[in-house]
Amino acid sequence: MFDLSGRTALVTGASRGIGYFIALELARRGAHIIAVARTVGGLEDLDDDIKAVGASATLVPLDLTDMKAIDALGGSIHERWGKLDVLVANAGVLGTISPIGHIKAKDFEKVMTLNVNATWRLMRSVEPLIRASDAGRAIFLSSGVAHSCRPFWGGYAASKAAIEALARIWANELVNTAVRINCVNPGATRTAMRAQAVPGENPDTLPDPRDVAAKIIKLADPALTETGMLYDVREDRMLRYREPE
C-alpha cells in the first residue's frame, strides 16, 4: 500500500458519494485532505471519519460555480503549503435527462458551468502548485456516457467529454514534468447522482462508493507512471487514447 504521509490532496465534491470516500481513502494513506463542497454537514462528517483514521483535513465550504473563489483557493493553498500533491476533480452535476431539443438553456449552462468551466478554472488555479510537487497527481471523474453518447444524456455527456479533452491536453502539456494526469470512468455507483439518473433502479445492485473509491486512488500513487489515460474501474484497466498528432 503506497504512503501519502506529508502530502496534500484537494478533493472536490467531498461531502458525499464517490468524492467522500476518495478523500477518506487518501487520508487513510496519510494525506492531508483539502475537502471542497457546499454542504457543511457532509464535510463535517468526513472530517470526523478522517480524524478517526488518524489523519487531518481542511474543510472548504465552497460553491465551485464561484470562479473567483477557485482562483483564491489556489492562492490560499500556495500560502499554506506552497504545493499540491493530489488534485481530485470529482464534483459534478447530472442536469436533466432529456432530448437535446428539450433541454432548458439554464439547465445546460448549469451543467457546463460546474462540470467544465469550474474544472478548467481549478486546473489553472492549481497548475503552479501541482508542478511544485515532486509527484503531482491529478484525477478527473468522467463517465462512460462521454463515449457511449447514450440518448437523452446530452448535457452531462458533453460535459464529461470536455473534461476528458481538457485532462488529456493537460497531460500532454505536462508530460515532461513529474505530474501525472488521468481520467476515470467509475461505472454506475450507488450514490445520490445515480439515483437521480436512474430512479427506478435498486441501489443494492450497484457497487458501493467505498469500493469504487478504493480503486480510484491508485491514480494518486507517487510511483504511478501512466499519464493521459482513462482508468475503467469496472474492468480495473488503464485505457490508452489516441496519441496527439
Residues that bind ligand NDP (CB under 6 A): 13, 15-19, 37-39, 42, 63-65, 90-93, 114, 141, 143, 186, 188-189, 191-194
Instruction: Output the CA angle 44-184-114, nearest 5 degrees.
Output: 60
Instruction: State the residue number with the nearest CB to ligand NDP.
Output: 17
Asked if 156 is an active-site residue, the reply is yes
CA 132/CA 116 separation, integer angstroms: 24
Q: Which is nearer to ligand NDP, 165 or 188 (CB)?
A: 188
Rounded to the nearest whole angstrom, what is the least distance from the CB of residue 22 to ligand NDP in the complex?
9
Q: Which is nearer to ligand NDP, 8 or 21 (CB)?
A: 21
Residue 213 contacts residue 22 (beta carbons within 8 Å):
yes
Rounded to the nearest whole angstrom, what is the least distance from the CB of residue 17 to ligand NDP in the complex?
2
Residue in 20, 156, 231, 241 annotated catalytic:
156
Q: Which is nearer to ligand NDP, 69 or 224 (CB)?
A: 69
User: Which one-letter DSSP state was computed for residue 174?
Assistant: T
Rounded to the nearest whole angstrom, what is the least distance from the CB of residue 243 to ligand NDP in the complex?
25
Rounded to the nearest whole angstrom, what is the least distance from the CB of residue 18 to ligand NDP in the complex?
4
Question: Where is 216: in which H helix or E strand?
Answer: helix 209-216
Rounded to the nearest whole angstrom, what is the least distance from the CB of residue 33 to ligand NDP in the complex?
13
Taking only Cα atoms into account, the Rg of the chain, rounded to an integer number of angstroms, comes to: 17
Q: Which is nearer to ligand NDP, 176 or 205 (CB)?
A: 205
Q: Which is nearer to ligand NDP, 56 or 196 (CB)?
A: 196
Question: Where is 141: in which H helix or E strand?
Answer: strand 137-141
> Active-site residues: which are they?
156
